[in-house]
Amino acid sequence: MSFIDERPLIEGRHHIEAYLIKGERQTIEFKQRLTKPQKIAKTITSLANTDGGILMIGIRDDKAIVGIDVEQEKYILYDADNHFCDPPVKLSVTEVLVPKEENSHQLVSVLVVEIPKSDSKPHKAQYKPNEWQVYIRHKDQTLIAGAKTERLLETDYEPIKKPKLSKNQQRLLAYLAKNDRITQKEYAALVNISERRARRELLENLNIGIIRVLEHEQEDVYVL
């Protein structure tokens, strides 16, 4: 069974312009080339496990269009999805012909791979023979999911749509809107509560999808 939906060939820079303007972020990843299926499997599964997104192949990190050998890149992409992602992720793949440079008549191919937020989370990627890991996406990074995050993915929870926020939740979200992350100790100081209560409130917010956690050996950090 194929999990790849190949779309018809299209032409024109306007089909990719919006992604180039936005640049790499939590839902957009640029790849100049695909090298190893194990590496791209991490990216595919991380996007599927988080908010979904777009993988563009034939674009450098600096947004320069370099073009690709379509069949070669498709081979690695399909190998990654079918053999290094468990379960495989449903992908939609479109080849787009675009000018290599503005006002250029030389057309090159770029692959636009649509990766939806999955209903079959968590997807694991094989990074070594017989060794699998769950990955998530945070901003423009692919990160290993910790035990807390993996449990949440397994429950396939849906964040509440319009929560009635407490004062502490409002202060937490306002802080994270201005700062990249917050620790348990920082949250306790922010809302003036004990660290024990701070831990409980952060876990409650995590469980209802208001925040996410990035788990580290020394100390977990909480992000939007």
Q: Is the peptide bond before 87 cis (omega within 30 degrees of 0)?
A: yes
b/e per residue 196-223 (b: at least 16 CB within 10 A): eebbebbeebbeeebbbbbeeeeebbbe
The contacts of residue 83 (CB under 8 Å, 6+ apart) are 37, 126
Average pLDDT over residues 183-193: 95
**Beta-bridge mates of residue 100:** none
Query: Which of 51-55, 158-162, 184-188 shows the lowest per-residue confidence on average (mean pLDDT)?
Result: 158-162
pLDDT of residue 86: 96
pLDDT band for position 198 (50/70/90)?
Answer: very high
Q: What percent of the chain has pLDDT over 70?
A: 95
Q: How far apart are CA 224 and CA 206, in angstroms?
A: 10
Domains of the chain: 4-142 (3.30.950), 157-223 (1.10.10.10)
Assess whether pLDDT exceeds 70 at residue 79: yes
Higher pLDDT among residues 141 and 161, named by residue: 141
Average pLDDT over residues 201-208: 91
Q: How far apart are CA 126 and CA 118, in angstroms?
A: 18
pLDDT of residue 104: 73
Q: How far apart are CA 175 and CA 144, in angstroms?
A: 25
pLDDT band for position 161 (50/70/90)?
Answer: low
**Beta-bridge mates of residue 31:** 57
pLDDT tens, position by position, 114-147? 999 999 999 999 999 999 999 999 999 999 998 8
3-state SS record for the chain: CCCEEECCCEECHHHCHHHHHHCCECCEEEECCCCCHHHHHHHHHHHHHCCCEEEEECECCCCCECCCCHHHHHHHHHHHHHHCEECCCCEEEEEEEEECCCCCCCEEEEEEEEECCCCCCCCEEEEECCEEEEEEEECCEEEECCHHHHHHHHHCCCCCCCCCCCHHHHHHHHHHHHCCCECHHHHHHHHCCCHHHHHHHHHHHHHCCCCEEECCCCCCEEEC
pLDDT band for position 44 (50/70/90)?
Answer: very high
User: For the packed helices 167-178 and 195-207, what is the interaxial angle rounded to 10 degrees?
Assistant: 80
User: For the packed helices 195-207 and 184-191, what is the interaxial angle rounded to 10 degrees?
Assistant: 110
